[in-house]
Structure 1
């Protein structure tokens, strides 16, 4: 385990960083009709009303809920809450008609404009970076099999202690983050380290919910990726490790069979390696 800092990573600090990161993103404003807003909100409220009636929710329980909802906002944990417990269903619906590679949730820790790197590259990392060396390589093609020259493979992941740069104190700004530009055949080779499983922050509001419900807070080890190319749809995904802890019971429900890697010992004897190709749908 790497001793990254004398400071302590807290849920509040991580949550507020995730909230700030989300607020900085330029997102398309949904053009939603009043009729659709009415339908969606009315159905959501109706489901909540049915739950209250079916379970005979008391005023004491209601007050706990109200207090908790307020605290989620004060902790800056709304991105964390939504990304852990709701995003996987939004992603499922949004990408149900894709023919190419499977996607999954983005999560709260994406940062745009990571350093551009060549087709074979080592992600930025500390000289003493802990963890097993890992080579992640593959090819980006279109659904018709054509290689996508210059495809962009954005990758980010936690370190050997389960921390993300820019969301935990003491880590270099772009640690284990990069934007790799594939070669003229769409090939890429990324040298990094295997990430660790980690618990989502548990000292804030989401942690209180997890404890109250008797759930666990673990996410399996995973790589985050966004893969894009001209005239093709961007794919956002996460890739997991076969046999890894919590692959079968990810708190974020984001694991899919197609996203599980089976690394083998590297041919040069240093760590592990895996080949995983991406297929992008036409825009």
Structure 2
């Protein structure tokens, strides 16, 4: 006859004490949590909100309340099936697998959904006169070489020559010396250096500093339009939505100077066929630029171009806002949202 298995008399007490001890290690008092049971479509949302109500960070609690509400509303409004939701989760898993130190597939996803542009517009609004900001994009890297003013950020035979110059100033026109300028672009084939499997070092990207008078200058190549990476889940999603995958030609620039807001922007040569249908919604009218041809051989030689060959010229001042000016601009652009 099998022996009867019985629990110790104080089994439940010991179990509850251990559960409370473990919860306490995470700053949780089990006795203060709501009683969650029998979740259904009518109760689940309110119950998730209630379990998050003890979050000590008010901003995090506010953000997650709205995130959860909109996500649950999406599920109800679309009557999404289990199979469709699992496909979405697989998509996110595959997106994560494509990420690395030099490829940012999740940034690309944010870009093509217009979220990056929306977040940027709200958080980086600029006062009148300041250079407008736009999306960072997925191809920025931290390993750019430092160049002197006038040097080339691109190795030879990477595309048609271009000379970029101007001044870094504040909104009153006062020069800003010592500003850190990061710049990056595609080569003439429409590829960033990170897209080459044999990448040995940074190319078509660089870092330089504005001079005492705020001036900066560097040699580059004329950027060309290009497709966003189409070998991953994001590119395939864009095509499935019936959209093209192209970005208009552009030159990225990021400027950081003490006492001023960091500027992340890009300049788009006029006439590009994708200028008005950018796959990542990044183009602003104020950032459309005109490239001017330079055929003066002596000037080309002076600027350092091989054999004095003709080049295109882009002159553009980079006008930075102070934190106070930026805050005033954001207050005007931010929607009125009640922070519950």
**How would you bin the TM-score normalised by the shorter chain?**
0.7 to 0.9
Which residue of 122, 125, 141 maps to 1:93?
A: 122
Aligned equivalents of 2:234, 2:202: Cα separation in 1: 27
Q: How does 1:44-59 map to 2 (within 5 A)?
A: 44-59=67-82
Aligned equivalents of 1:75, 1:261: Cα separation in 2: 33
Q: Is the 8 A contact 2:225 2:250 kept in 1?
A: yes
Specify the structure having the higher radius of gyration (Cα): 2
Structure 1 residue 62: Cα displacement: 2.1
Q: Is the 8 A contact 2:134 2:282 kept in 1?
A: yes
Aligned equivalents of 1:128, 1:140: Cα separation in 2: 29
2:235 is aligned to 207
1:134 and 2:162 correspond: yes
2:279 is aligned to 251
Aligned equivalents of 2:132, 2:223: Cα separation in 1: 21
Q: Which has the higher contact order (CA 8 A, sep 6+)?
A: 1
Structure 1 residue 109: Cα displacement: 1.5
- Structure 1 length normalisation: TM-score? 0.81
Higher fraction of helix: 2
Secondary structure at the aligned position of 2:80 is classed as coil
Which residue of 133, 137, 142 maps to 1:107?
A: 137
Structure 1 residue 33: Cα displacement: 5.8
Aligned residues: 250
Aligned equivalents of 1:33, 1:176: Cα separation in 2: 46
Structure 1 residue 97: Cα displacement: 4.7
1:5 is aligned to none
Which residue of 250, 254, 258 maps to 1:226?
A: 254
Aligned equivalents of 2:283, 2:169: Cα separation in 1: 23
2:313 is aligned to 273
Q: Is the 8 A contact 1:220 1:244 kept in 2?
A: yes
Aligned equivalents of 1:250, 1:121: Cα separation in 2: 30
Structure 1 residue 134: Cα displacement: 0.9
Aligned equivalents of 2:112, 2:252: Cα separation in 1: 15
Superposed CA deviations along residues 130-157 of structure 1, whole A, max 9, x for unmatched, are x221111111111221111232221111
Structure 1 residue 282: Cα displacement: 2.4
1:3 is aligned to none
Q: Is the 8 A contact 1:217 1:251 kept in 2?
A: yes
Structure 1 residue 96: Cα displacement: 2.0
Aligned equivalents of 2:74, 2:164: Cα separation in 1: 46
Structure 1 residue 119: Cα displacement: 2.2
Which one is further off, 182-191 or 162-171?
162-171
Change (3 A) 1:188 1:203: same
Question: Which ranges of structure 2 fall in alignment gaps of 5 or more residues?
Answer: 1-54, 100-104, 298-309, 324-340
What's the RMSD between the two structures over aligned residues? 2.1
Aligned equivalents of 1:164, 1:150: Cα separation in 2: 27
Q: How does 1:152-167 map to 2 (within 5 A)?
A: 152-167=180-195
Higher fraction of strand: 1
Superposed CA deviations along residues 22-71 of structure 1, whole A, max 9, x for unmatched, are xxxxxxxxxx9633222222222322332333333233322322221222
- Structure 2 length normalisation: TM-score? 0.68
**Which portions of structure 1, spanning 4 or more consecutive aligned residues, are displaced by more than 4 angstroms?**
none
Secondary structure at the aligned position of 2:182 is classed as strand
Secondary structure at the aligned position of 1:166 is classed as helix
Structure 1 residue 260: Cα displacement: 0.8
Superposed CA deviations along residues 198-230 of structure 1, whole A, max 9, x for unmatched, are 111112111221122112111111111111223
2:322 is aligned to 282
